[in-house]
Structure 1
Amino acid sequence: MPLRATGSAWLTRTRLRTAPGAPLGYLAGLRPLAACTLRDFHFTIGRAVRPPRRR
Protein backbone atom coordinates (compact mmCIF):
# COMPACT_ATOMS: atom_id res chain seq x y z
CA MET A 1 0.00 0.00 0.00
CA PRO A 2 1.61 3.31 -1.04
CA LEU A 3 2.13 6.08 1.50
CA ARG A 4 2.76 9.72 0.72
CA ALA A 5 3.50 12.59 3.09
CA THR A 6 4.22 16.21 2.20
CA GLY A 7 4.81 19.31 4.28
CA SER A 8 7.43 21.77 5.48
CA ALA A 9 9.36 21.13 8.70
CA TRP A 10 10.16 24.11 10.95
CA LEU A 11 12.13 24.16 14.19
CA THR A 12 10.02 25.28 17.13
CA ARG A 13 10.04 25.55 20.93
CA THR A 14 7.96 23.39 23.21
CA ARG A 15 7.48 22.41 26.83
CA LEU A 16 6.89 18.92 28.11
CA ARG A 17 4.74 18.53 31.21
CA THR A 18 3.76 15.17 32.64
CA ALA A 19 2.83 13.88 36.08
CA PRO A 20 5.53 11.80 37.80
CA GLY A 21 3.13 8.84 38.18
CA ALA A 22 2.00 8.87 34.54
CA PRO A 23 3.24 6.31 31.97
CA LEU A 24 5.71 8.91 30.65
CA GLY A 25 6.58 10.11 34.15
CA TYR A 26 10.27 9.40 33.63
CA LEU A 27 10.28 12.49 31.35
CA ALA A 28 9.09 14.81 34.16
CA GLY A 29 11.44 17.75 34.63
CA LEU A 30 13.39 17.12 31.40
CA ARG A 31 13.68 19.55 28.49
CA PRO A 32 13.24 18.39 24.89
CA LEU A 33 16.44 18.35 22.84
CA ALA A 34 14.65 19.54 19.69
CA ALA A 35 11.12 19.98 18.39
CA CYS A 36 9.63 20.61 14.97
CA THR A 37 6.31 21.65 13.49
CA LEU A 38 4.94 20.43 10.17
CA ARG A 39 3.21 23.14 8.15
CA ASP A 40 0.84 22.35 5.29
CA PHE A 41 1.06 18.66 6.23
CA HIS A 42 -0.80 16.19 4.03
CA PHE A 43 -0.69 12.40 4.45
CA THR A 44 -2.22 9.88 2.06
CA ILE A 45 -2.54 6.13 2.61
CA GLY A 46 -3.25 4.15 -0.55
CA ARG A 47 -3.88 5.62 -3.95
CA ALA A 48 -5.22 9.15 -4.09
CA VAL A 49 -8.61 9.20 -5.78
CA ARG A 50 -9.28 12.23 -7.91
CA PRO A 51 -12.83 13.51 -8.37
CA PRO A 52 -14.27 12.97 -11.86
CA ARG A 53 -13.70 15.76 -14.36
CA ARG A 54 -16.63 17.95 -15.23
CA ARG A 55 -17.37 18.26 -18.92
Structure 2
Amino acid sequence: MSTYCDHCGAPAGAGDHAACRAARAMEPPRYCGECRRRMVVQVTPTGWTARCAEHGTITS
Protein backbone atom coordinates (compact mmCIF):
# COMPACT_ATOMS: atom_id res chain seq x y z
CA MET A 1 0.00 0.00 0.00
CA SER A 2 1.18 3.50 -0.81
CA THR A 3 1.99 6.08 1.84
CA TYR A 4 0.46 8.92 -0.21
CA CYS A 5 -2.49 9.19 -2.58
CA ASP A 6 -1.14 9.17 -6.14
CA HIS A 7 -3.92 11.49 -7.32
CA CYS A 8 -4.03 14.32 -4.73
CA GLY A 9 -0.76 13.79 -2.84
CA ALA A 10 -2.38 13.73 0.62
CA PRO A 11 -1.47 11.00 3.12
CA ALA A 12 -3.26 7.79 2.05
CA GLY A 13 -4.64 7.15 5.54
CA ALA A 14 -6.09 10.65 5.98
CA GLY A 15 -9.62 11.26 4.79
CA ASP A 16 -11.69 9.58 2.12
CA HIS A 17 -10.03 9.13 -1.26
CA ALA A 18 -13.06 7.70 -3.09
CA ALA A 19 -13.09 10.63 -5.53
CA CYS A 20 -9.36 10.15 -6.15
CA ARG A 21 -9.86 6.45 -6.91
CA ALA A 22 -12.68 7.31 -9.32
CA ALA A 23 -10.52 9.92 -11.09
CA ARG A 24 -7.60 7.48 -11.34
CA ALA A 25 -9.78 5.14 -13.41
CA MET A 26 -9.51 7.71 -16.22
CA GLU A 27 -6.29 9.63 -15.42
CA PRO A 28 -2.63 8.79 -14.76
CA PRO A 29 -1.12 9.31 -11.30
CA ARG A 30 0.14 12.81 -10.55
CA TYR A 31 2.06 12.21 -7.30
CA CYS A 32 4.48 9.47 -6.27
CA GLY A 33 2.75 7.18 -3.77
CA GLU A 34 6.02 6.63 -1.90
CA CYS A 35 7.48 10.12 -1.52
CA ARG A 36 4.68 12.55 -2.54
CA ARG A 37 6.79 14.19 -5.26
CA ARG A 38 4.97 15.57 -8.31
CA MET A 39 5.68 13.23 -11.21
CA VAL A 40 6.44 14.05 -14.84
CA VAL A 41 3.49 12.55 -16.73
CA GLN A 42 3.27 11.91 -20.46
CA VAL A 43 -0.01 10.79 -22.01
CA THR A 44 0.02 9.13 -25.43
CA PRO A 45 -2.77 7.63 -27.54
CA THR A 46 -1.74 4.16 -26.34
CA GLY A 47 -1.28 4.87 -22.61
CA TRP A 48 0.78 6.94 -20.19
CA THR A 49 4.09 7.06 -18.31
CA ALA A 50 4.73 8.78 -14.98
CA ARG A 51 8.26 9.38 -13.70
CA CYS A 52 9.35 10.14 -10.15
CA ALA A 53 12.85 11.57 -9.82
CA GLU A 54 13.47 9.32 -6.81
CA HIS A 55 11.53 6.11 -7.57
CA GLY A 56 11.60 5.75 -11.34
CA THR A 57 8.94 5.25 -14.01
CA ILE A 58 5.56 3.51 -14.00
CA THR A 59 3.42 2.89 -17.08
CA SER A 60 -0.20 2.15 -17.83
Greater fraction strand: 1
Greater fraction helix: 2
